[in-house]
Every structure is written in C-alpha cells, then in structure tokens.
Amino acid sequence: MRQAGSHLASSRVGGSLVEAQKGRSAMMLVCYSDESWDNRAFVVSGLLGYLPEWVELERLWRTMLDKQHLPEFHAAKCEIPREPFERYEREVRDLFQREFYGLICNLQLWGFCTAVWHADYKERWSEFEEHRRHAVGDFTHPYFLAFQHNIELMCLNLDRAGVPRNEPIAFVFDQQQEFEGRAKLLYESLRRSKGGGITYRNRLGRISFESRLCVPQLQAADVWAYESRKYVTDMLIDNRPDRARWQYGLLEETKRMNIKGFPPESLDRLAVVVRELASAPRTLPPPPLLPRLSEPICLSRAKKPSS
C-alpha cells in the first residue's frame, strides 16, 4: 500500500524528534492543535514538541504580545484584518506575522496537518452520515475524520522512528463548543480500542480543550492551522501557484511541517472502509471509531509552491 506523501518523510520527522530528545531525561511530548476551514478545505493541524520547547514558546510569545501591545495573535484576524489588527497598515501586520511566525520557526516544533477536501466531502455526506450517526452522537462532520487522522499521523511517525514507546503525547485543543464533547468520546474510543489496527494506544496521553486567550501555545497552533489550510485551498485544490504565501514559506523552510489530505479519490476509499465498518462490526472497532486511517487511506502528496 502506498504511504501518503508529505513535505518531509516520516522517518526524518521522527528521527529529528529523537535527536531533539538526546541527552535529556524522559520528557513529555505535547501537541497543541486547532482547526481551520473554508468552503473548500477543512483541516485539523497540530504542533508537536517536547515540553521545554513549549515553555520557552509561551515565555517568548507573551513577551512579544506585550511588546506589540496586543491581547492575542490570531492569524486570520491579522490577515483580514479584524480587531485588534484593523487599525494597523499592511506593512505593520506583515511585521507582526514575521515576528510571531519566527518564534515557531526558531524552536524545535513539528507541524502535522490533516486536510479534508470540504466540497467533495459534502457531496458524499449522505453516505458517510448513514454509518457515522450513532446513539452516542453524530460523527459525520469532517472535523472528526481530520481529528482522528491527525492524532494517528503523529503517533505513527513516532513509532516508525523508534521514539521510546513510553513517551505519550498530551493533546491540547482549542476550545470548540460544537465538537469538543464528541471529540473526547472519539479520543476515549481510540484509547480503549483493541482492534482496527489501532496500535498506538500507548501514545495517547491526556486530552484537554483550553482557551487560546489563556494558552499562548494555542495561538501558535492557530497560525499553523490557518497557513496549512490556506496552502491546501490555494495550492492543492485551486492549483494557484500565484497565491503562494511568504508566510507559509517561513514555516515550510524549517522542513518540519507536514501536510496530508483526503482528496476525492481518498474519500471514495474512505466510503468503502465505512461500509466495511457497518457490515463487519465484530471485526472492526465500535463506534464512533474508524479503523486505522493513516495507511489504508491513500492520501495526496503535498506539492511545493511553484516559483
């Protein structure tokens, strides 16, 4: 089965994490995640790193907020702009982006994005809905597909690279009233699963949903979610290299950012998996869990913007 493509090979990502851990005692891995969407793409994106990197990011981020007299940094609000950025000219907002994005780039953090081709998913909604609505809740929304796959993507990268299996990931997501409760149910089903190829249960640490206003690390996750979604929409779906963003280029230059996605052909394969889930419940995990997604679903290879 062809492994999905990304900006950086999985072994290199995990290997770099191994290198980052060398010489240190056992440390906690933490992922801060956020979602972003438009009418063409829905993404869940996470930044993964060891706890000391996140402690340093919080310190630097708060210092930068104080320096710029900002209550928060929010990627979309800075770009559009909306309050508190609407009073700043474009060149000043460019400066904000360079400074805050630079904090992410200068620390040992790895980005993972799972993108769902939104319009194509909606065309198949009724088929997914038939098998994704359960007594415990409705898991049809693409958020839950991206949520599970993004978690798997990180865990399997670590396993393949030989990162010690006793190092779980603590996941922190931005507060999301619409999906938070069901996402917790899905996460717990991953932790309890004994089938469906879910071999990474040991990687699943605690999960929490926090406010980005109180947790600056989630503002960094928002940056990655926004830029990865813009890349998927503009470069992969619309095929518009003229829309290449220098902001995304800052993150890409680190060679630590990875994007994988569910285009139409992968969604068709997902539909087959979902039907198998419904027809063979004794051999597949119980709802709301889908079987392991990272290998059986063939994902698109993210391409670099054309010059």
Whether residue 117 is contained in a domain is answered as yes
pLDDT at residue 1 greater than cutoff 70: no
Establish if 286 belongs to a structural domain: no
What average pLDDT does the segment 82-107 reach?
Answer: 97
Q: The sheet that has 41-50: what strands, in order across it?
A: 204-210, 169-174, 29-37, 41-50, 110-117, 257-262
Q: For residues 144 and 290, what is the distance between their CA atoms, to the nearest angstrom?
A: 10
In a domain, 301, yes or no: no
Indicate the length of the chain as a whole number.
307
Q: Cα–Cα distance between 6 and 11 in angstroms, integer?
A: 11
Is residue 284 situated within a structural domain? no
Residue 114 backbone phi and psi in degrees, to 5: -115, 125
**How far apart are the C-alpha atoms of 144 and 182, rounded to whole Å?**
8
Task: Answer yes or no: is 1 within a domain.
Answer: no
Identify the sign of the CA torsion 196, 206, 256, 221: positive
The pTM for the full model equals: 0.87
Counting the structural domains of the chain, the total is 1
Task: Note whether 291 and 284 are within 8 A (CB).
Answer: yes
Report the relative pairing of strands 29-37 and 41-50 from DSSP bridges. Answer: antiparallel
Q: What is the pLDDT of residues 139-189, one digit of tens each?
A: 999 999 999 999 999 999 999 888 998 899 999 999 988 999 999 999 998
Domain presence at residue 293: no
287 belongs to a structural domain: no
pLDDT-wise least confident of 62-66, 87-91, 151-155, 288-292: 288-292
How far is CA 108 from its chain centroid? 17
What phi and psi, each to the nearest 5 degrees, are found at residue 206? -70, 155
Residue pair 13/46 in contact (Cβ under 8 Å)? The answer is no
The CATH number of the domain holding residue 110 is 3.30.420.10
Q: Give residue 158's domain range.
A: 10-20+27-279
pLDDT at 285 over 90: no
Tokens of 234: 């503009």
Provide the pLDDT for residue 18: 60
Give the number of other CB atoms < 10 A from CB of residue 157: 27
* Position 35 confidence tier, pLDDT thresholds 50, 70, 90: very high
> Is residue 183 in some structural domain?
yes
